[in-house]
Amino acid sequence: MKGMPKKRSQQPQVDPYFEREAQKYDNPIASRELILEQLVEAGNPLGFDEIAARLGIDGEEQTEALRRRLRAMERDGQVLCNRRGSYLPVSQADLIRGRVIGHPDGFGFLVPDDQTGDLFLSPRQMRGVLHGDRVLGRVMGVDHRGRREGGIIEILERGSEQIVGRIRVEDGVGVVTPDNKRITHDILIPPDGLGAAGDDQIVVVRIRPQASRKARLRGEVIEVLGEHMAPGMEIDIAIRAHGLPFQWPDEVTAAADRFGAQVPATAKRGRLDLRKKPLVTIDGEDARDFDDALFCEATETGWRLWVAIADVSHYVEKDSALDQEARTRGTSVYFPNQVIPMLPEVLSNGLCSLNPDVDRLCMVCEMEIGKRGAIRGFRFHEGVMRSHARLTYTQVAAMLVDGDEALRERYASVVPHLERLHAAFRALNGARNRRGAIDFDSTETRIEFGPERKIERIVPVERTDAHRLVEECMIAANVSAAKFLKKHKVPALYRLHDRPPPEKIDALRDFLSGVGLTLEGGDEPTPAHYSAVLRAAADRPDWQLIQTVLLRSLSQANYGPSLSGHFGLALADYAHFTSPIRRYPDLLVHRGIRHVLRDGKARGFAYSHSDMEHLGEHCSMTERRADDATRDAVAWLKAEYMQDKVGDVFDGVVSGVTGFGLFVEIVDVFIDGLVHVTSLDNDYYHFDPVRHRLTGERSGRTFRIGDRLRVQVIRVSLDDRKIDLRLMDEERPARPENKRSAGRAQPGAEATAPEAPAAEEKPSRRRGRRRDPAGGAAVPAGEAPARAAGDRDADAEALETDAQTGGETARATRRKRKPAAAPAPDTRERRDEGAAAPGRKKRPGGRRPSAPERKGRPETARPAPVEAGAPAEAASDAEAERPTGRPRPRRRRRSVQPAGEVALLIQPSRKAGSQTDDRPSDPAGGDGGEARASDPPAQSARRGSRRKRQDDS
């Protein structure tokens, strides 16, 4: 019948990938591609026996191999097994495969593997899944904000089977609160799972299998890290909270130890001998693994540049124990003063590291550089080299830029080669500028420790020509590697940085139009158009704001097998080739180049395009995981550093503006805190996501990125890695000189605090109403600022790359009032509250008395109204007439609540430095009025990696 699938003969199908499978396995089974092809052609779900019959599989061994392959395909989200036990391709079931990104407020997002757009997951859908889980989902509809809303169909793989957190034990039952704030599930620990754990300790919990996705998570304690808040635990917690592999399996250690300390003579045969070329390594002072060396010589048409990279692929063979562990780790993780390497230190710091004066195997990229910086040609070699010097960035900059004679004499044998390298760098840098690569100016920092791992200071890392020289040489080698692999059609992982999506471009143009700038390029602006905006804004006072908004509009870089170019560097071909010791994608690139050099063709390469897709997703995840873990540990260290500075006053610069407050970076300390919107007194503040500013409705005061403020540290939370600040640029009543305690500022700090020079302030057009000195009303939850639509990381961390969109907040016009006469000093609260408009009657306290007050309490005499413009003494007299037998009743809440991005700020002034825990929880930030110590929008972009260089944006 028409529409029915055609009957097929039972002849076994020819597998086009049989040769690849035969290389992988002694007893090859049908490839995944062939199985998917059979399922698609069938047109309906197939049972296991039907699939085996179509593939011509019989025999117990082959049948078991097919069962394992189908189980692996199901785990990887390629096929789905329905309730009848039949298999169908995920692509035909309208299902979406992806990873769950949780949010501290309980909801989450499903990020599809094919990058087709995130699906919003409601708290109900997040009940059975955790942050980092790989799942199959389906589009369930569109929510009220226009976002695609998803539902979870099946959990393919847990992001982590172990969770670290704080345990509280009561009546023999424990409850663990995860340290990772993106995991909002408390984990129940039954009595048989407590082990040696006690109350208020930090533990590692293994998740037990769930009876269903709706069942509560249960676990068992497998490790006790120590007491809560014990010093020196921040890295241990970060490692386990983010699931970083940190222990070496015995077989990996044994495999690494078998290589020995020296390169054997047999390994050097057949390689290009570069031991006489004066190759040198240039790294940071604290570097321990050296994976690249440079040499340059002049030619008639320009320069010949040699970039030698440690040949890790010679030691780490595919599917060996070393390879499996390196693939699992994905990247080395650089914590302050500690590294979790991708490879055992026997290799990473020993046999693979290009240490001086010893023979090392290398993969060499030889490039011809033209006088204008163009790469005219390149060749790759398997080589053997000997580093002639271990140089640092500081030394190279001193020799080439400062002309340090002592250093030039010490390294006289390599100085001429360094000068040629410097000349080649200037040509490469000129080509970079001409093609329009985006160059953001950011500050990297380094943490210096004292005894007991306590931070002594945080210092900026100066970026010199030596850093730029190495970076340009690495970029040139990466471009050559990508072109080489593309030319020979070898499946590979490329470094991808897509152009910004249209919605971010539109939001960026809306912002730039408001500051008098234009982004050219129509619907597809190029990096050159971005660079033009940066040049136009270079001398403006709002340059930092403009750069931050440009940075947030860019996409996030990742790894993938499809060569789509690198937008930030303005390059069509780009891969990571230069760091195989610390990045698994670089090792895969080395294997591809090595395969071509030995076999001369792509056929027979051990990886397929599908394999590279899976590896690209995995390596992108491990990169983000490492960034999150290091950011978490640094935030803890910075919060600990600020603990004894509660009450101190600092100069700061606004580094981010959100609907729930201002992120302020403390000058010369390089630590960020949050000035919550509830601490901005006496006004309604509107958040404009397009202009990135907060504006007072009555005062007209505006806060923007780059404004300089005077702030005081009022609270530090190590548990949440957050620092609370408040502004010090407003008049406040004088405090008694003898009241100084923990959490309070020094006497007189507020009186001497200068006005913020850069924050805009307009004359007040309307006076504030009377406020209750006994306590202020909390901000209603409904008035908290809304999130930007489609933003899966709407907290401070997400602002690193996501542009916020929205309309400009219109300020309501009001009738001008006559200003009151200048009051006496230290009467700010009375001045704001005591004056009323002529003829306007007011109730005592500003609200109607409650029923008990009307029935059982004596009637209170009303103070006489004070005319606007009356002297301050009149206000004081009117205030004195108020009875003091009981607290003044609160004023009535406004009948019409403000909507949208408006926060009602009616809290009273507090003593300087007082620590408060009663702030309303902020739905927009999920942070209850606290900020991550190192997660502001602008600071997140400056990751401050301990790695010696950054060779991608």
For 323-373, the DSSP string reads HHHHHHH-B-EEETTEEE-SS-HIIIIIISS--BTSEEEEEEEEEEEETTS
CATH of the domain at 76: 1.10.10.10
Alpha-carbon dihedral angle through residues 477, 483, 489, 495, given to the nearest 10 degrees: 70
Residue 197 belongs to a domain? yes
CA–CA distance, 679 with 664 (Å, rounded to integer): 14
Q: Indicate the SS3 state at residue 457.
A: strand
Q: Are residues 739 and 808 in the same domain?
A: yes
Q: Are residues 413 and 367 in the same domain?
A: yes
**Residues 6+ positions from 677 with CB-CB distance below 8 Å:** 659, 660, 661, 685, 694, 779, 785, 903, 905
**Quick one: CA dihedral 879, 880, 882, 887, positive or negative?**
positive
**Which of these, 235, 204, 237, 240, lies nearest to 222 by C-alpha position?**
204
10 Å Cβ neighbour count for 9?
Answer: 7
Q: Are residues 469 and 603 in the same domain?
A: yes
Residue type, 472: E
Continuous segment of H or E residues that includes residue 294:
strand 292-298
**Quick one: CA dihedral 831, 835, 837, 838, positive or negative?**
negative
Q: Are residues 282 and 153 in the same domain?
A: no
10 Å Cβ neighbour count for 132?
Answer: 21
Q: Are residues 564 and 532 in the same domain?
A: no
Contact 711, 649 (CB under 8 A): yes
Q: For residue 819, how far is the Cα from the chain centroid?
A: 48
CA angle, corner 203, sides to 197 and 206, nearest 5? Answer: 100
Q: Which residues pair with 206 in a beta bridge?
A: 162, 220
Contact 584, 330 (CB under 8 A): yes
Q: Indicate the SS3 state at residue 385.
A: strand
Here the tokens at position 621 are 């995840």
Identify the domain boundary among 488, 522, 554: 554
Residue 597 belongs to a domain? yes
**Residues 6+ positions from 754 with CB-CB distance below 8 Å:** 710, 729
Residue 865 belongs to a domain? no
pLDDT at 26: 66
Q: Are residues 76 and 167 in the same domain?
A: no
pLDDT at 778: 36
Here the tokens at position 624 are 């983000």
**Residues 6+ positions from 896 with CB-CB distance below 8 Å:** none
Identify the domain boundary among 133, 157, 181: 157
Q: Are residues 732 and 794 in the same domain?
A: yes
**Which of these, 828, 835, 832, 649, lies nearest to 731 by C-alpha position?**
828
CA–CA distance, 803 with 669 (Å, rounded to integer): 27
CA–CA distance, 208 with 219 (Å, rounded to integer): 5
CA–CA distance, 180 with 624 (Å, rounded to integer): 14
Q: Are residues 271 and 325 in the same domain?
A: yes
Q: How many domains does the chain have?
A: 6
CA–CA distance, 493 with 477 (Å, rounded to integer): 15
**Quick one: CA dihedral 488, 493, 497, 502, positive or negative?**
positive
Q: Are residues 276 and 213 in the same domain?
A: no
CATH of the domain at 803: 2.40.50.140
**Which of these, 810, 789, 892, lies nearest to 850 by C-alpha position?**
892
Identify the domain boundary among 632, 666, 683: 632
pLDDT at 870: 41
What pTM does this model have?
Answer: 0.68
Residue 2 belongs to a domain? no
Residue 695 belongs to a domain? yes
Residue 358 belongs to a domain? yes
CA–CA distance, 698 with 811 (Å, rounded to integer): 8
For 289, the domain range is 250-498+559-632
**Which of these, 658, 628, 790, lies nearest to 109 by C-alpha position?**
790
Q: Is 10 exposed, middle or buried (0-12, 13-18, 19+ CB in 10 A)?
A: exposed
Contact 883, 861 (CB under 8 A): yes
Q: Indicate the SS3 state at residue 612.
A: helix
Contact 228, 217 (CB under 8 A): no
CA–CA distance, 401 with 387 (Å, rounded to integer): 23
Here the tokens at position 643 are 């603990």
Residue 240 belongs to a domain? no
Contact 294, 473 (CB under 8 A): yes
pLDDT at 449: 85
Q: Are residues 790 and 936 in the same domain?
A: yes
Contact 491, 611 (CB under 8 A): yes
**Which of these, 950, 947, 951, lies nearest to 336 by C-alpha position?**
947
pLDDT at 871: 41
CA–CA distance, 79 with 602 (Å, rounded to integer): 29
Contact 845, 891 (CB under 8 A): yes
Q: Which residues pair with 657 in a beta bridge?
A: 662
Q: Are residues 24 and 133 in the same domain?
A: no
pLDDT at 877: 40
Alpha-helix residue ranges (DSSP H) falling in 76-177: none
Instruction: Provide block-wise average pLDDT over 10 residues at a time, the chain (953 residues).
Output: 45 67 72 82 81 82 85 79 78 77 90 82 87 85 83 81 89 89 88 89 88 78 85 84 90 93 92 95 91 95 96 95 96 92 94 95 97 95 96 95 93 94 96 93 84 82 92 97 95 94 91 90 92 91 89 93 93 96 97 92 88 93 92 90 92 91 91 91 86 89 91 90 85 39 38 38 41 37 36 37 36 36 39 37 43 43 42 40 46 43 36 38 38 40 40 44
Here the tokens at position 188 are 């129940």
- 676 to 491, 673, 680: CA distances (angstroms): 50, 9, 7
Q: How does strand 671-676 pair with strand 722-727?
A: parallel
Residue 863 belongs to a domain? no
10 Å Cβ neighbour count for 432?
Answer: 20
Q: Are residues 535 and 572 in the same domain?
A: no
**Quick one: CA dihedral 113, 117, 122, 125, positive or negative?**
negative
